Amino acid sequence: MSKEINFKKELIGNFGYPVWDNPTEAMVEAAFAHHDMKFRYVTTEVKAENLKAAFEGLKAMGYKGFNCTIPHKVAIIQYLDGLGESASIMEAVNCVVKRDGKYIGENTDGKGFMESLRTVIDPVGNNVLIFGAGGAARAVSVELALAGIKHLTIVNRSRNRGEGLVDLLRSKTNVEVELIGWQGDHEVAEDRDIIINCTSIGLSPEVVRVPVVKETLQSHMVVCDLIVNPPHTPFLSDAESRGCRSLDGVGMLVNQGRIGIKYWSGVDVDPDVMRKKIEEIYS
Ligand code: NDP
């Protein structure tokens, strides 16, 4: 019997600029190798002005899909054939999937976070406080709103960005939402159940603390940080020292990768392989 020979692999990309510090390829390739999948994930530096040409090239080469990151999450939408529900509410795409020959934009950031959060607490009916109003806060808050939380507080430094997110949530979801400006150390109200740092404060190599009055963090609260580098942030350590349950950003990263791979290939990969790779990278 002759041995089957097939050198062809299915291609997945990642468009961004800069992308040198994006760990997704290492994490996703670890899953491809573990499951012996004939897929390749290629991190590609694409500047804003080259997005259209890069996408045309990717289509010509028959890519199964790709991730897109800064600065393409909004700009890519004009070239796509359609959007999934949360991507269309967020007006931001981080994952493109080829379905029946059409390239559809999805947003897996918020979905990845929700899967991670549900390992600690069911957010339905809870009061949530989010620090930040950028892209990550938008993804997380839309998914929380769609999931049916009771109340959402957005705390953000710049009023404009905060108002933009609150307007979006009020116009496109039913969530009860308020905006609080961030001046000095924020005092977390006692009736908050889930606190999420969606800012870039604490991202390595900066050693900056999240401006919060630590004593207002209480043991009934679940405290989450989206930062993955370092995986365990000073904000989480502070929360743990107050008796809170904590959730790091690695779970979100791993889950969004796992959801993307499922979309592109249909394969449900082992998340532990990807977490191990991320922890190895940032140890
Ligand atoms: P954006 O640049 O879109 O938003 C950054 C947010 O952080 C803004 O709300 C900004 O406030 C706030 N911020 C930054 N510095 C300060 C500061 N010194 N004081 C107060 N507020 C500050 O970034 P993203 O939303 O895309 O990403 C945020 C972080 O989330 C990233 O650092 C990344 O590490 C993490 N992330 C993690 C993911 C994961 O899978 N775990 C996925 C995506 C992101 P202002 O509006 O006032 O400027």
- Give me the average pLDDT of each 10-residue run along the chain (283 residues): 84 96 96 98 98 98 96 96 94 96 97 97 98 95 96 97 97 97 97 97 86 98 96 95 97 97 98 96 90
- CATH architecture, domain 10-106+252-281: 3-Layer(aba) Sandwich (3.40)
Instruction: Based on the residue annotation, tell me whether 276 is a catalytic residue of this protein.
Output: no
pLDDT tens-digit map of 65-88: 999 999 999 999 999 999 999 899
Q: CA 227 to CA 233: how far, in whole Å?
A: 7
Which atom of ligand 1 sits closest to the CA of residue 135?
25
Q: In the chain, what percentage of residues exceed pLDDT 70?
A: 99
Ligand 1 center to residue 147 CA distance, Å? 22
pLDDT tens-digit map of 100-157: 999 999 999 999 999 999 999 999 999 999 999 999 999 999 999 999 999 999 999 9
For residue 199, what is the DSSP state? S
Q: Quick check: CB of 135 below 6 Å from ligand 1?
A: yes
| Residue range(s) in the chain whose domain bears CATH number 3.40.50.10860 | 10-106+252-281
Q: Quick check: CB of 252 below 6 Å from ligand 1?
A: yes
Give every strand in the sheet of 82-83, ordered side by side.
Answer: 39-45, 10-16, 65-68, 95-99, 102-106, 82-83
- What angle, 0 to 180 degrees and rounded to 10, lies between the N-to-C axes of helices 271-282 and 24-34? 140
| Residue range(s) in the chain whose domain bears CATH number 3.40.50.720 | 111-248
pLDDT for res 4: 84
Q: Quick check: CB of 256 below 6 Å from ligand 1?
A: yes
Query: Quick one: which H or E segment has residue 178?
Result: strand 176-181
Active-site hit among 3, 9, 59, 73: 73
Distances (CA, A) of 69 to 48, 84, 135, 167: 11, 17, 10, 24
Superfamily of domain 111-248: NAD(P)-binding Rossmann-like Domain (3.40.50.720)
Six-digit token string for 35:
């499951």
Q: Quick check: CB of 114 below 6 Å from ligand 1?
A: no
pLDDT for res 1: 59
Measured between its terminal Cα atoms, the distance across the chain in Å is: 47
